[in-house]
Amino acid sequence: MKAMALITDEAQRFSLEEVVLPEPAPDQIAVRTLWTGVSIGTEFALIRNKISWGPYPLCVGYQGTGIVEAVGADIRDIAVGDLVYFRGNDAMQLTDGTPVSCVQGAHCSHAVLRPHTTHGAAHLPPGAPVDLSAMFVMPAVGLFGVDMANPRMGATVVVYGAGLIGQGVIAACAHRGCVIIAVDVNPRALEIARKMGADYVINAAEANVTAEVRRLAPDGADYVFECTGLPQCIDPAMSLCRPDGTFVWQGNYGAAPVTFDFMAAHGRRLRMFFPCDDGLQPCRRAVVKNMAMGTLHWEHTITHRIEWTEAPAMYERINRGDHEVIGVLIHWSD
């Protein structure tokens, strides 16, 4: 099967290339992509080789929506014409035979994948928006971390980093009735954080974060979610926890070892949680269902909707560090 995909090489050059996907096996489905969502943190960690899931060239992207165009002989619960949300392609190659690492290969006009795996596909709930639902992973990551740490109503929560993962944490904590303090250096991200449920916002580029948090929570926050994935942010975020508080390693810090101030955490008897991935299908279903119900207003996080032909230019823009870009949806077909 021929398709068009966004391809990245080792020099971090972005191009749209014709690729070849395998015909669906008995346990696979073929999907015509409608929309895909961009995960700036994880995708660019892969693009920049901060983490590696396979050799270059890469086809990144791990979240999308589409219409099923073919089903394998063993598939009984998915039919041609069904709307699904999916994680990516199982395999692809360039037309000259060069293998492409699907990490996870969602930014492609089509997807061929096994739906009944931990990172497969599922039916879109009735009423779920096909565009916003293509960004299901980030709010699911946030929901999973919140579910693990279990902040209760009235708890003071600091969300350190208001990118898309942080926005997912903010939304999930707002639904629980927490008092939320969002911290970031990007005014646009903080503006979105207010819309997603943050009670207070702190611009770390302009204010003393510790002093501002202590003004709001004199003993420190009950919960701190470190959402930047930047090693240099670990200790400053951890210092905002109260004694016997909880610190959540919500970011992805890459393959290299990270360090933190052990005695500071030890002396305050902090609990720590290490969420990984998006909580799998229960969390994915929850956020897409909440979008369908209108209780998760993820549209506030989307700063750009683009056509697939604009994807290379957008990726160049993100790679240059354009902080006006926060949430991007790529339109592939109708």
List the domain range (segments joined by +) for residue 192.
138-273
**Residue range 252-264, pLDDT digits in tens:** 888 889 999 999 9
> Are both 125 and 206 inside the same structural domain?
no
Average pLDDT, the chain: 97
Flag whether pLDDT at 164 surpasses 90.
yes
Q: Are both 153 and 265 inside the same structural domain? A: yes
CATH number at residue 200: 3.40.50.720
Q: Which two tokens stand for residue 254?
A: 């890459």
How distant, in Å, are the alpha carbons of 54, 87, 159 from that of 249?
A: 25, 23, 11
Instruction: Please check whether residues 94 and 221 belong to one and the same domain.
Output: no
Query: Is residue 132 located within the same domain as residue 182?
Result: no
The pLDDT of residue 65 is: 98
Please indicate, yes or no, whether residues 132 and 174 belong to a single structural domain of this protein: no
Q: Report the chain's C-alpha Rg in angstroms.
A: 20
Chain segment 33-81, per-residue pLDDT in tens: 999 999 999 999 999 998 899 999 999 999 999 999 999 999 999 999 9
261: phi then psi, degrees, rounded to nearest 5? -75, 95
Residues in a beta bridge with 32: 67, 110
Domain end call among 273, 297, 323: 273
State yes or no: cis peptide before 57, omega within 30 of 0: yes
Per residue in 271-310, pLDDT (tens digit) is 999 999 999 999 999 999 999 999 999 999 999 999 999 9
Residues 251 and 321 in one domain: no
Question: d(Cα 73, Cα 322) in Å, to the nearest integer?
Answer: 46
pLDDT digits (tens, 9 = 90+) for 216-253: 999 999 999 999 999 999 999 999 999 999 999 999 88
- pTM attached to this predicted model: 0.96
In this structure, which long-range contacts are made by residues 304-312, counting pairs with CB atoms below 8 Å and at least 24 apart in sequence? 304/328, 304/329, 305/131, 305/329, 305/331, 306/330, 306/331, 307/331, 308/4, 308/6, 308/16, 308/109, 308/332, 309/16, 311/6, 311/14, 311/16, 311/107, 312/6, 312/14, 312/15, 312/16
Buried-state track 202-225, b at ≥16 Cβ within 10 A, e below 16: bbbeeeebeebbeeebeebbbbbb
